[in-house]
Amino acid sequence: MKTLYIAFVWNQHQPFYRDTRGGGFIMPWVRLHGTKDYGQMASILEHYPQIHQTFNLTPSLLEQIESYLEGSTDYYLQVVKPAGLLTRAEKQFLLHHYFDIQWDRVIQHHPRYRELLEKQGRDREPEKVDRALERFTEQDYRDLQVWFNLAWIDPETRRADPVLKRLEEQGSGFSEADRGALLERQFALLRRIVPLHRRLQEQGLIEVITTPFYHPIMPLLVDTHSALRASPGLPLPRRFQFPQDACAQLAMAVKQYRRLFGAAPRGVWPPEQAVSPELIPLFMAYGFSWSISDEQILAKSLNEEITRDAYGHVLNGDLLYQPYLVSGAGGEIAMIFRDHHLSDRIGFEYQHYRPDDAAADLVHRLQKIRENLAWAPGEHLVTISLDGENAWEWYQGDKGPFLHSLYRRLAADPHLRCVTVSEYLAAHPPLRRISHLFSGSWVDHNVTRWIGTENKNLLWDYLLFAREAVEQYRTGPGPDEAKLKRALRGIYIAEGSDYPWWIDSMPYYLAAPFDALFRKHLADVYRAIDRPVPAHLYAPLAKPHPGEAAWSVDPLTGPIPMAPARSELSDLAEGLVGGTGLLTDLSEGRGC
């Protein structure tokens, strides 16, 4: 009977939270997802050697992990100090942010942690949290320090580690030594992420791929006017055209990958699965043999509809479940296209199921795909791809119960075979072609999530002003190479997709820190080349919506502080000095 091949492609990414001026992180999610998800997602496969998978470890994520291991910190970590030495502001921070994990799925299942949440008042508003200050004892604060960091470690990891298991079973009355032992385990988990992935790849169990270094929307770096292909009439900022930046982001990614994994990457994940024909020769120039995007991009490229029945089963699966040889701008590359519906079921739907029921549902749907393709000649590949960390906090027992049940069922089914993408393409090269790749992303097959609104366009204008200033410096008399590299690093960081993602699309209090960090990176660009910081970088782009309170201080020194609070204006006026660029090669790129 015919075998159906399945490619799981997990995208492991975090925004670049690091403030290159101060060296710290404005948010802790690299560290916390590093202890809960990045290692465990790969480690769990050691129990199921038949289940081969592909992982995209973004370079900006890996750089931040190494920054932690080299001594960088975040404020969530800075308040893990002897409880008797906590200031009032640090206690406020603990009560406000040390319950930043899913309350019903996580905190509810740990009696002492639940008790602390009840004592805090189950409040999210800072002024209400302040009322709990006097109710908390020194021991309460110490227990809270331990429980937040302990709960952010994968449950299966906690059970397997004697120290972590003891702390979880102890539950309360933690000592300063307990807190120190926990932090040692946290950093040990961060330290194992890269070696684990490298070992499993060398064993043939997984494939590790990469992405342009600081996660930019690549079609917009090449030409912001490419946004008009999917959205004619979209209002746009001044035209940004710097394909050399797209090349530099790829060059840095390849260099980092070679250093960490001892080989060249074969696959490239376009950030946000955003593609355009102009990317094809760039991917080829840096040695990539395959890439990935969304089924909506495939449908638009072929000018055909992917149809589903009322249960979500694809009716024309022979169209979707194939790799394609995609040509564009003088080059060609193999591409696969994810099943959007199945990927979203893992990302958003299965958290509402019992883990076994969710696993059974997914396997049933894969079996149904195989049955529906029985008439079609040749082999077929179902691609399931999504974020590899964000969904699990909402699952019963985190990722473990679901994934163990899923992998057991897949391993037991003789007609379903999980493969890495390169493994499949080596045995079954693309037989079909796409002559014109549609320009768009996984979000509604366009790029309007990153450009086209008033403040998103202003963000692009600010980026362009800074980029032009760097070009003027580069082509002027006697540019200093060290200063130029520092300025370009600031540009490349500011090109990351996460900054425009938040502006005009998310609540103000969530967007404001990214807005502030974006403007800090651009201010650093001007300082690096001895230019005055333009006035527009002192004013926030993100504006409060009706009913939302405006920040009274720099968002980077407010609820997610890294230094004593100061106004944004005075912070920027102090002058920002760029970082050293820990792992980056800031060349302009080859072959472009």
Query: DSSP of 131-150, one letter per residue?
Result: GGGGG--HHHHHHHHHHHHH
Q: Which fold has domain 4-64+193-212+266-434?
A: 7-stranded beta/alpha barrel (3.20.110)
Number of C-beta neighbours around residue 21 at 10 A? 22
At 318-363, the pLDDT tens digits run: 999 999 999 988 889 999 999 999 999 999 999 999 999 999 999 9
Task: Identify the band that residue 553 occupies on the pLDDT scale cut at 50, 70 and 90.
Answer: low
CA pair distance 295, 316, nearest whole angstrom: 12
Q: Which amino acid is at 416?
A: L
CA pair distance 94, 141, nearest whole angstrom: 8
Mean predicted confidence (pLDDT) in 134-143: 97
Mean predicted confidence (pLDDT) in 453-474: 98
Query: Token pair for residue 243?
Result: 């394909």
Enumerate residues 6+ apart whose C-beta is below 8 A from 62. 194, 256, 260, 583
- Which alpha helices (H) appear in 334-375, and where do they start and end? 340-344, 355-372
Task: Identify the band that residue 22 occupies on the pLDDT scale cut at 50, 70 and 90.
Answer: confident
At 403-443, the pLDDT tens digits run: 999 999 999 999 999 999 999 999 999 999 999 999 999 99
Q: Which amino acid is at 14?
A: Q
Does the pLDDT value for residue 545 go beyond 90? no
Percent of the chain past pLDDT 90, that is, above it, reads: 86
Q: Give the model's pLDDT for residue 563.
A: 29
Q: Give the model's pLDDT for residue 556.
A: 67
Report the SS3 class of residue 416: strand
Does the pLDDT value for residue 571 go beyond 60? no
Bridge partners of residue 387, in order along the sequence: 11
Q: Give the model's pLDDT for residue 557.
A: 53
Q: Give the model's pLDDT for residue 124.
A: 81
Q: What are the structural domain ranges in the chain?
A: 4-64+193-212+266-434, 66-191, 454-573
Among 290, 251, 297, which Cα is nearest to 272's? 297
DSSP letter string, 500-515: HHHTTTS-HHHHHHHH
307-344: burial string, b at 16+ Cβ within 10 Å, e else: eeeeeeebeebebbbbbbbbbbeebbbbbbbbbbbbbe
Q: Give the model's pLDDT for residue 548.
A: 75
At 218-232, the pLDDT tens digits run: 999 999 999 999 999
